[in-house]
Structure formats: structure tokens, C-alpha cells
Amino acid sequence: MVIRKFGILNTSVPADVTRFYGIPFPGQYLLNADGTVREKLFLADYQERPTASEVLIKNFGAGVGNDGVTVAAEDVQAKVMLSDKRGFSGQQLGVAVDFEVGSGWHIYGQPLPEGYTPTSVKFDGDLVSSQTFEFPKPTPVRFEALGETLPVYQGKFRVVGSVRLKQKLPPGEHKLSGTVSFQECNDMLCKIPQTARFEIPIRIDPMVPAAPKT
């Protein structure tokens, strides 16, 4: 009755074929300290939803569930963090990647002309079914020697995103692996594009079956 009155009955669950009929669409509210709603999120599937710590990463850059892993290549390093140390099949997890580019160097954003390599983060597909990342807006810089204005990142910046775990993953200890790619340049030269691999430990918990209706 309450679920129907709020208009959040999960209509993707058929009434005649499953004991899960009557559940609401999954949702979250993020509140400010004064109680006002900062953000709300509703999803179409009760099995696939982000964690609260993912929302914290996206909005506040905080609340990560572990210390993450750091990869480095010459003058560039990136710390990759997950929102939780554990999850379950089909769950969406938040990701934060903190980049630090050495003084005098830059790496590239988008869009780029042909011949340059943009900065990217990509998880392997063995545990992940989908992924998305939001990069900050790069700074356009005019390079007189090249006769071009290019989008670049310098110093420190953060990339946020999410990964969705595959369905029916075996419970236990796993590693989420992936790559960070970039091309490091200064005002005089560009180094060859580089790709650094990372692995983040994660525990996959078994799905808990719903209690039978009485």
C-alpha cells in the first residue's frame, strides 16, 4: 500500500511469476547536514544498484572502502580506488582515480587530433560487465611550436566513474584488473604513449535469497 502510494512499485517484476512482486524500485537519497536532499537516485532493477559509498565518491570524493592501488610511469602516477572492498554479482561500484602529473609535464584529454593519445582508464572484462568514467574538463593550451591548441591535464586531478560486476560471479576473493593509459609531454617533446596495469583485491559475497512470503 505505502509503496503504491509513493509511486515506486517495481513494475518490471511480474505479479504472477515471482515471489518478489511488490518490491519498490531501489533508490537512495543523499542528504546535506541540514536535512535537505542533495541528490536522489532510482534504478530499474532491484539486483543492480550502487553502494552508498559510491555516491560519496561521486559527490564528495570520499568514502572509499580501501586504500586503492597506485601505478606510476616516469612523471605520471595514478591511484585507483574502489568504493568497497567487497560486493556481490550485478552490483555497481564506484571508482575514483587520482592523477598526479610531474611539474613541467602534461597529459592529454579529449577531443584530440589524430596522432595523440588521450588519457583513459579501463577495467578488464573478466569481472566487469560495463563501466563509465567522467573526466574533468581539460585545459586548452596553445603550443606555438606545434601550431596547435590541445586539451591537457597538469598537476593533480580526479576521475570518477563506476563499474558493474557481472552476474553469477563465484563468491570468494578476486582481483579487479585494468589499465591506465596516457601520453606524457612537455613544451618540447612527447614521450611514447604508455599503459600501466593495476589490480585491486575485492571479495565477492554470495547473494542472500529473499525470505519466503508468509
Q: Name the pairing type of β-strands 92-101 and 86-88.
A: unpaired
Alpha helices in the chain (DSSP H): 2-5, 52-60
Name the pTM for this structure: 0.74
- Which CATH number belongs to the domain containing residue 77 in this structure? 2.60.40.10
Is residue 194 domain-resident? yes
Q: Name the pairing type of β-strands 194-205 and 86-88.
A: parallel
Amino acid present at 149: T
Query: Does 168 lie in the same domain as 101?
Result: yes
Query: Does 88 lie in the same domain as 156?
Result: yes
Query: Does 159 lie in the same domain as 99?
Result: yes
The cell numbers describing 114, all together, are 589524430
- pLDDT single digits (tens) 53-109: 666 666 655 555 556 899 998 899 999 999 888 889 998 888 999 999 999 999 999
Query: Does 92 lie in the same domain as 24?
Result: no
Query: Does 103 lie in the same domain as 72?
Result: yes
Query: Does 81 lie in the same domain as 35?
Result: no
Amino acid present at 133: F
Cβ-contact 84, 93 below 8 angstroms: yes
Query: Does 185 lie in the same domain as 97?
Result: yes
Cβ-contact 128, 91 below 8 angstroms: no
130-133-139 Cα angle (round to 5): 160
Is residue 57 domain-resident? no
Count of domains in the chain? 2
Is residue 110 domain-resident? yes
Cβ-contact 104, 139 below 8 angstroms: no
- pLDDT single digits (tens) 2-53: 777 777 777 777 777 566 677 777 777 777 788 888 777 776 666 655 666 6
Is residue 140 domain-resident? yes
Query: Does 157 lie in the same domain as 70?
Result: yes
Is residue 214 domain-resident? no
What per-residue confidence (pLDDT) applies to 140?
95
How many Cβ atoms are within 10 Å of 59's Cβ, its own excluded? 13
Q: Domain of residue 39: give its range.
A: 1-46
